Structure 1
């Protein structure tokens, strides 16, 4: 192996550790996609932003508590300089339409798109702002629920509604976590359900794939007594990494608790290894 190849391999080795541990920063003034839980908070507003609580107005603001911290920086050759930020876990959401659509989702897990901006003043309440924020799951959510409801009802032996705690969607794949509940005014009879123990906790776990424009159930459990993802091994993380966001492993030996972070690290490490193999004689 010649000297230049030695140098390249050394650089790859040095870089792989940092790549494995951190994600690239997102850029200001560009369209980004972020996932997390919606929080609705009330802050003091004009004229004095809390200096005179009795007379200052109140501002209701939607915030996104992210699945994992992000860093933000200016894009190469950006016309405007904004301060770099690291380990940010909250983003202020600003919409072009009435904010009621977001406030009604308080406590829910969502994925939004928008243009990332840096706060201009301390009154912005967070260092990062997502302007023109839009939900990207609203139309897909209905299609997904319509696709899984018949199979859930079949397994339950009765009509059901779907309560969603988490819905992650990425690249034609989706993971839904929640529970089945009875129609309004009725009570669910678990004795009619298939393979369900009425004395144990019951979680709905669904994996779906979108093919030819239709969502189809690939895996479903309506009465999981424990989160199925708790015991996922590296080899189990075969879907797009974003669908694992917010799902945590109980394996203390893993470098990352969050399965999405572990999935991305594994894929990055695999890419580095493949690049090494390509340049080896």
Structure 2
């Protein structure tokens, strides 16, 4: 029996500003439980000068991701191939990221809030 349900509504895009950094973590197969045999993963993050709740004029979009999503100072960014070059040049610099927020889904997701990047650009000053 198949029951028709309401499809999940896509989250609206949000804009966050922070310093783009690279994090290094233990990956598969044991994610740090066997460091000598685990792969090392590198992930991009925004180190935020203020929480997402502070930066966003309307933080209601984050309520479905749990309370930590709005209070975090680190947001993992998922960069598509089209933005990869811009992201690599921006590591260590202030950036503005526009994208779709989502909650962690796998062991590779390291923060309570992630953002699928649609646009990434360097900035000089915080705009909020």
TM-score, normalised with respect to structure 1 = 0.35
Cα distance change of structure 1 residues 75 and 46 upon mapping to structure 2, 3 Å threshold: closer
Answer with 1 or 2: which has the greater Rg: 1
Structure 1: state its 5+ residue gaps: 1-27, 138-165, 170-241, 243-259, 261-281
Deviation (angstroms), 1:75: 7.0
1:168 paired residue among 106, 125, 128? 125
Matched, 1:44 2:26: yes
- Structure 1 residue runs of 4 or more that deviate by more than 6 Å after TM superposition: none
- Cα displacement (A) at 1:103: 3.2
- Change in CA separation of 1:136 and 1:107 when aligned onto 2, cut-off 3 Å: closer
Structure with the higher helix share, 1 or 2:
1
Unaligned runs of 5+ in 2: 1-9, 54-58
Q: Measure, in 1, the Cα distance between the counterparts of 2:52 and 2:115.
A: 13
The answer to whether the 8 Å contact 1:73/1:83 transfers is: no
Q: Which structure is richer in relative contact order (CA contacts within 8 A, separation 6 or more)?
A: 2
Q: Aligned match of 2:116 in 120, 127, 131? A: 131
Counterparts of 1:67-106 in structure 2 under 5 Å? 67-71=49-53, 73-74=60-61, 81-85=64-68, 86-97=70-81, 99-106=84-91
- Let me know the Cα RMSD of the aligned residues: 2.7
**TM-score normalised by length of structure 2:** 0.72
Q: CA deviation at 1:39?
A: 0.9
Offset, 1:30: 1.4
